[in-house]
Chain A
Amino acid sequence: MDPHTTDAVRLMQALAGIASIVVGLEWQAIVRAGAVEGTWPAPVLRPWWGWRAALMTPPVLRSIAVVQVTLGTMLVLAAMLRDRDDPMGAIAAAGLLLTLWWTAVRVRGTLNGGSDGMLFTLLLGLMIATWPGTPPRIALGGVLFVAAQVLLSYLRAGIVKLREPAWWRGEALAAFLAIPAYGATVWFPRRGRWLRALSALTIAFELAAPVALAGPRAAVLYAVIACGFHVAVAWTLGLNRFLLVWTAALPSLWVAQAAVHR
């Protein structure tokens, strides 16, 4: 990998490490509140777990957060290492992948929807990209896999909204903001021109994702706008993990544009 790609991977490692630490801390708080057994009682899920029940013991439940915080910290530290052949980052990513799978089995699905999926994608890409001795093309493929998923996540959402008249009228955005589960208490225009403009901007932003491949400046500009978009979503809808995880995945767009123009 060239130095710029290596820098992008290091940035992804550091941000993915921070996201993983937050995931671990949140899990610890949920476990400590007794909410895991209250929401996903083991006696109910044991038949569904099957052979995996042996892994779903209370000691593992209690220790998984510590493991996630430790591995997340290792990933952050790995981003600072000069030696590219050090296996610490790849091992941390592999370990975090296992903890995400464990959590998904424990709660019979993803805990935080798409953000868990993107974090899994990100860690898998980083594990491949940083595994010592990985051929450069395969390593690059790991990062491009992440970039492809990032682009797909925006583009698919944009195309579906483009076809929905309720989105163009602003009605869809108003309806989503009114869903009690998101607890959108922040002031927001609920109707009229502003809402239609915000809806159109959202659709335009999502559809513009491929523009990030036009060049380095376009990639950086799109990533900055995307960060702002995720801050707004986290602020209004409370999707904090999406902000952390997508921010960590966005540097892959820079690598993707470089690969396109190589």
Chain B
Amino acid sequence: MLWRLLFPSWAFFDRVVAVPALEVRTVDRVGDRTPWRPALRAPSRGVLALLYHPKGTLHLAQQGVVDRFAAECAMDEADETTTALVAALARVAVGDAEGVAWQWRVVESTPSAMAPAQVVFCSDELPVHDTPPDAR
């Protein structure tokens, strides 16, 4: 961790790559599934955000967790901790939505490209009441 802080990679916007996105959906009592919806949304920002924007910083950090998961999946090395962190993010996004089950997935798409998104990972359907969202 110390090494990563001391010698960052300085890789900024090098090349266009597929961007991962976390999506969630719920399943109701009769088994109907809602459409997939994004779990993370970039907050709006005003002039003050040039200097202070905690919601934006949090959003980018959360997207970083999803990016790391997608990168690990691409190398077939997704570890339990990263998977659990992404699942926790998804569970918070589902919140108290009505339904008996919920599901999350990570899809990748290239910005500005017309190609459809590729599914990187799709979770099983999880019971809503067994997985309470963390306090927010």
User: B-contacting residues of A (Cβ < 8 Å)?
Assistant: 22, 25-27, 29-30, 33-35, 37-41, 44-45, 47-48, 100-101, 104-105, 107-114, 116-118, 120-121, 124, 152-153, 156-157, 160-161, 164, 166, 171-172, 174-176, 178-183, 185, 231, 234-235, 238-241, 243-244
A39 to chain B, nearest CB (A): 6
Provide the residues of chain A in CB contact with B81, threshold 8 Å.
Answer: 44-45, 47-48, 108
Nearest 6 Cβ contacts at the A-B interface: A183-B42, A117-B8, A29-B54, A178-B111, A26-B54, A120-B5
User: With contacts A25-B52, A34-B134, A180-B38 known, what are 9 further pairs, Cβ within 8 A?
Assistant: A30-B58, A40-B85, A44-B85, A110-B8, A110-B64, A124-B6, A175-B111, A238-B53, A240-B50
Provide the residues of chain A in CB contact with B2, threshold 8 Å.
Answer: 101
Binds A, one of B12-20, B24-32, B98-106, B118-126: B12-20
B8 to chain A, nearest CB (A): 3
Provide the residues of chain A in CB contact with B97, threshold 8 Å.
Answer: none
A123 to chain B, nearest CB (A): 10
Contact call B52/A34, Cβ cutoff below 8 A: no
Contact call B60/A113, Cβ cutoff below 8 A: yes
* Cα(A41)–Cα(B89), bound, Å: 9
Provide the residues of chain A in CB contact with B12, threshold 8 Å.
Answer: 114, 153, 157
B135 contacts A by Cβ under 8 Å: yes
The closest CB in chain B to the CB of A25 belongs to B52
Select B92's contact among A38, A112, A175, beta carbons within 8 Å.
A38
Provide the residues of chain A in CB contact with B59, threshold 8 Å.
Answer: 181, 183
* Cα(A120)–Cα(B3), bound, Å: 11
Select A160's contact among B11, B45, B61, B136, beta carbons within 8 Å.
B11
Size category, B interface: 35 or more
Question: With contacts A160-B11, A181-B59 known, is A37 near B135, CB below 8 A?
Answer: yes
Select A100's contact among B5, B43, B55, B134, beta carbons within 8 Å.
B5
Provide the residues of chain A in CB contact with B45, threshold 8 Å.
Answer: 183, 238
* Cα(A1)–Cα(B1), bound, Å: 32
Contact call A38/B135, Cβ cutoff below 8 A: yes
Provide the residues of chain A in CB contact with B60, threshold 8 Å.
Answer: 112-113, 181, 238-239
The closest CB in chain B to the CB of A172 belongs to B16
B51 contacts A by Cβ under 8 Å: yes
Provide the residues of chain B in CB contact with A160, threshold 8 Å.
Answer: 11, 14-15
* Cα(A160)–Cα(B10), bound, Å: 11
Contact call A38/B88, Cβ cutoff below 8 A: yes
25 contacts between A and B (CB under 8 A): A25-B54, A33-B58, A38-B89, A39-B92, A107-B61, A108-B85, A109-B4, A110-B64, A111-B57, A112-B60, A113-B8, A117-B5, A117-B6, A152-B10, A157-B11, A171-B16, A172-B13, A175-B110, A180-B42, A183-B45, A238-B42, A238-B45, A240-B57, A243-B51, A244-B51
The closest CB in chain B to the CB of A48 belongs to B81
Contact call A172/B44, Cβ cutoff below 8 A: no
B61 to chain A, nearest CB (A): 5
Give the residue among B4, B5, B52, B135 with the most A Cβ atoms within 10 A: B5
Provide the residues of chain A in CB contact with B9, threshold 8 Å.
Answer: 114
Contact call B43/A183, Cβ cutoff below 8 A: yes
Question: With contacts A37-B135, A157-B14, A160-B14 known, is A176 near B64, CB below 8 A?
Answer: no
Provide the residues of chain B in CB contact with A175, threshold 8 Å.
Answer: 16, 110-113
